[in-house]
A and B are shown apart, each in its own frame.
Chain A
Amino acid sequence: MTLFERVFGGNDAVYGLTEAAVDAAIAANGEEKAVSFPDTAYALPCYYAVTGVKVTNLKEMKEALGVVKSLMTRENQLNDVFMSGVATALCAEFIEAIKYIDGAKPYDEPCYGHLSDAIIRELGVPLVTGDIPGVAVILGSAPTAQEGVDLVKSYQAQGILVTLVGGIIDQCQELGYKTGANVRVIPLGKDVTSVIHAVSVAIRAALIFGNVTAGDAGALMTYTKDRVPAFVNAFAPLDDVIVACGAGAIALGFPVITNDDKDVPAIPKSLIIQKDVSKFNATSLEARDIKIKITNIDIPVAFASAFEGEIIRRGDMQVEFDGSRVDCCELVQTKDASEVEDHKIELIGPDIDEFEVGSKHSIAYVVEVAGKSMQPDFEPVFERKFHSYLNCIEGVMHTGQRDMIRIRVSKEAFNAGFRAKHFGEVLYAQVKNEFEAVVDKCQVKIYTNPEDCTKIRHEIAIPVFDKRDERLSTMTDESVPVYYSCIMCQAFSPSHVCVVTPERLGLCGAVSWLDAKATNELDPNGPCQVITKEKVIDERIGEYEDVNEAVRKLSQGALDDVSLYSIMEKPMTSCGCFECICGIEPFSNGVCIANREYAGMTPLGMTFSELASMTGGGVQTPGFMGHGKHFIASKKFMKAEGGVARIVWMPKELKEQVAEKLNETAKELYGIDNFTDMIGDETIAEDPETLVAFLTEKGHPALGMDPMM
């Protein structure tokens, strides 16, 4: 039988039953008899939400049946299946409502039947906050009572609200499993039609919390699909009626997971066959995209930022992993969802207790993540946090990054039971919690065999690191589609806006284009927003209409326009966090750069702090500009004024830091070798006259350039 036949058949059967039930009720009570569910302001909530009409008595219900019939189209399109599913659900609601005629109490302990508005308001808040991460509707009888209870228990442990329909209720009772609204396991009823009480919860949630107008079926289905994290677990055997109800669930966006593989065609993401009941939980969570918050990290020692600065001396150390002596590395890799089993922590090689006290070993840990919104560009962002994560473990010290890491585990932590897998537990929990927005699944592999570590370091990690560096160094402002704003510093510099581009990182030096991009994806309402750059005004100075618009908006109108590549015309503002300041040096036609660490005098007659006082505060000061250290060697540095050839002076220490890259840039732009040798520093000159004499002797290119002013 096809899915169409099954759903239509089930739908027809339920419709027939409903019609008979309504007629029987009218025969017994008369047309005017009132029908309602107790304690709800929404009449028959499902029918009301879908049609906007409140059914109040049997006569109206009979009329409503006609409307339901009109949904039951038979065109063999998927939409017919869904609408027939909805029709089945509405029929079920009628049947259930009739049970409540005359204030009857059709459900006995432990079953709840209809749930009041008050319960929904109460459950709705934790649902909205994510404290209840999902709603499971379990239908039918599990293969064994124990399997059924285990499934219920697994959801309950995750904070998921569980509703039960049919045989599973008896199975819970059989094993004496506690149920009730207070433990968030709610048996609804034993007839399949009582599943409507779960649907009713989802629908009233949309009306109450989603501001959905009754009768707007489209908005209703969008809300339940996007905002109500419900799913159905239906046990074999599925009869046509259940299949038809399932179609209704799918129409609302709730996937159905079943262990019945006979006559049930799987529909990707909607109707999923999982023969192993013990995997229902994982399959359901993945299908409904439910993420469970980790509140407790399962390790035998404490985890807190208080331990971040803890030093472990050699004498207190149980074992050490030292990347400077043997092969070690830490790595994040993006994988396909099918390759990652959530929360799998694997130790490959000997554990810490097999090592001699005080000995030195290799370690490589690879955190594999999968997620619909995950991008390889986030990998280094996660990796950079590992240092802090592992340091927060009581009795563990971590230094360095990439393949230059060193980890020490204290004797005390070891004696408390700390083992290698606990690194995995911490990394898993922290990555999942902090990067929830992009990580759906995460697993950790920890290698402690020297051969494995060597292989991973040299064959996997180093090529990845090289590729990343390559990507960063070859990225240009022209090669990316958008830039990012950063207004992290507006708390104290209210009108400042950084425009972060691949070749011009934030002036604090801490926010590269990739960082800004990751910040934006992880926190879409946060300080970094996308800036398009489609409307060029002046390519020479790097001015764009869209950039100006963004700056105007983000500075609340304080700034009208900025250029990306000029220090003289509309220069970018500075907050106060700048790593360096460059300022115009009129005698040589060039600029001097001072870094924050440099406390001495510059040929401009001002120290760094004096320069800072006139450059910061979010104002444009032509001739002066704050910037990051990495920007010095950029081809976009003062591009409008002729580029790095304008640099005539830098403190010696800074010069040494940037020499290699700056020389490369100068060679490429002007064909000058060892350009930094032509740049003055404090050992050569602290006044303009001596500086110009030095520049003249060296033949510095700035002397021959057009005046900047």
Chain B
Amino acid sequence: MPFNRKPQKFNAAIKSVVIGSGDKTVTLGGENVLPFYAFDGEIKNGPKVGVEITDLGMEGEPESVKAYYEGAATMGEIAKKAAAMEGADFLCLRLAGGDPNGLNKSVEELIETVKEVADAVDVPLVVEGCKNVEKDSELLTKVAEVLQGRNVLVMSAREEDYKAVGAAAGLAYSQKVGAESAVDINLAKQLNVVMTQLGVNADSIVMNVGSAAVGYGYEYVVSTLDRIKAAALSQDDKMLQMPIITPIASETWNVKEAMATEEESPEWGSQEVRGISMEIQTAAASLASGSDAVILKHPQSVATISKMIQELM
């Protein structure tokens, strides 16, 4: 019997969200087929890869990451190197130092870093907060304000602070808003519903539906991504058609497989190889399950994943 190709057609598509300004923009989403099902139909934009840097500079980074950034002394220089990384589509600045339970840097200090990074590069920018709801409400509001006109993605608005972050980033300063939920399709949808009720344009929202490192309950992530894509495409669920961005580096580099030194676990081999491997595996799985963008930090991971995307498109 001859093989009959039967493309799976959907009468719905993921929304396209553009971040960045001027000549340098990147479009997330836009597809109307399942992840990498290029044989079912053209994939408009293809998944994108972002490079993560934090306001902590090179402090605590693995040696091989430090090696890549060698010679970069200021945040501006670090940002330039990150933006120039092979395979990078956008830059992500994570303001980890703002966490009140950590360094607890002041909003003013962090905003200076944001400005320095934004002034140094013209690539599309994603700015992530410190994950503390109260601090983020204040910090991300300010971030949205100082980056007016840059059309950045501000991450993230969550159930607890979506009003402040959504109103500032989505309404007052016309940025894009990340909507973050914790690996649950209903919570992801509910957040999109309340954000749009607040007045944020559905086309300005990018979802971060939560993640984990592979091996750390990652099955839940796959199932959530799967179901969101299925609902968005096969059921035309408008409140789940926002593109998905998944921060990977911040999940994979602090698990045991990436942290244990070779002295501690000689049988596991090179620590660096393990860390990169965790990052690549998690990113590949997230893209295959439906994420429209991943955020990585190791140059080798960025290069590998962007090559994978090219080959599969």
Contact = CB atoms under 8 A, between A and B. Distances in A.
A119 B200 CA distance: 20
17 contacts: A122-B145, A124-B171, A125-B172, A128-B167, A209-B167, A209-B171, A490-B185, A491-B184, A491-B187, A525-B194, A525-B197, A527-B186, A553-B235, A556-B227, A556-B237, A557-B230, A557-B234
A125 B193 contact: no
Interface in A455-513: 487, 490-491, 494
B164 interface: yes
A690 interface: no
A525 B164 CA distance: 19
A523 B107 CA distance: 33
Given A130-B163, A209-B171, A490 B186 contact: yes
B171 A208 contact: yes
Contact of B164 (A121, A122, A129, A211): A129
Contacts of A526: 190
A210 interface: yes
Nearest to B230: A556
A689 B38 CA distance: 60
Interface in B52-85: none
B157 to A, nearest CB: 11
A121 B172 contact: yes
A494 B164 contact: no
Given A490-B184, A494-B227, A525 B163 contact: no
Nearest to B138: A125
Given A125-B172, A490-B184, A557 B231 contact: yes
Interface string A327-345: 0000000000000000000
B163 A128 contact: yes
Interface in B178-204: 184-187, 190, 193-194, 197-199, 201
Given A128-B163, A128-B198, A553-B235, A494 B223 contact: yes
Contacts of A129: 137, 163-164, 167
B170 to A, nearest CB: 9
The 3 closest A-B CB pairs, nearest first, are: A128-B167, A129-B163, A121-B172
Nearest to B164: A129
Interface of A: 121-122, 124-126, 128-131, 208-211, 487, 490-491, 494, 525-527, 553, 556-557
Nearest to B240: A556
B141 interface: yes
Contacts of A527: 186
Contacts of A494: 185, 223, 227
Contacts of B187: 491
B173 interface: yes
A556 B227 CA distance: 7
Interface in B99-126: none
A519 to B, nearest CB: 13
A590 to B, nearest CB: 37
Max chain B CB contacts within 10 Å: which of A128, A210, A487, A490?
A: A128
Given A128-B163, A211-B199, A494-B185, A121 B194 contact: no
B168 interface: yes
Nearest to B148: A121
A124 B172 contact: yes
Given A526-B190, A557-B235, 8 more contacts: A125-B141, A125-B168, A125-B172, A128-B164, A525-B193, A556-B231, A556-B237, A557-B230
Nearest to A208: B172
B141 to A, nearest CB: 6
Contacts of A556: 185, 227, 230-231, 235, 237
A553 B189 CA distance: 13
Contacts of B163: 128-130
Given A129-B163, A490-B184, A494-B223, A209 B199 contact: yes
Nearest to A227: B199
Nearest to A126: B164
A494 B190 CA distance: 15
Contacts of A210: 199
A503 to B, nearest CB: 26
A527 B184 CA distance: 12
Nearest to A554: B186
Contacts of B167: 124-125, 128-129, 209
Contacts of B237: 556
Contacts of A122: 145
Contacts of A211: 171, 199, 201
A209 B227 contact: no
A487 B187 CA distance: 11
A491 B185 CA distance: 8
Interface string B38-53: 0000000000000000
A490 to B, nearest CB: 5
A211 B196 CA distance: 12
Interface in B208-251: 223, 227, 230-231, 234-235, 237
A208 B145 CA distance: 13
Contacts of A490: 184-186
Max chain B CB contacts within 10 Å: which of A124, A130, A525?
A: A525
A128 B193 contact: no
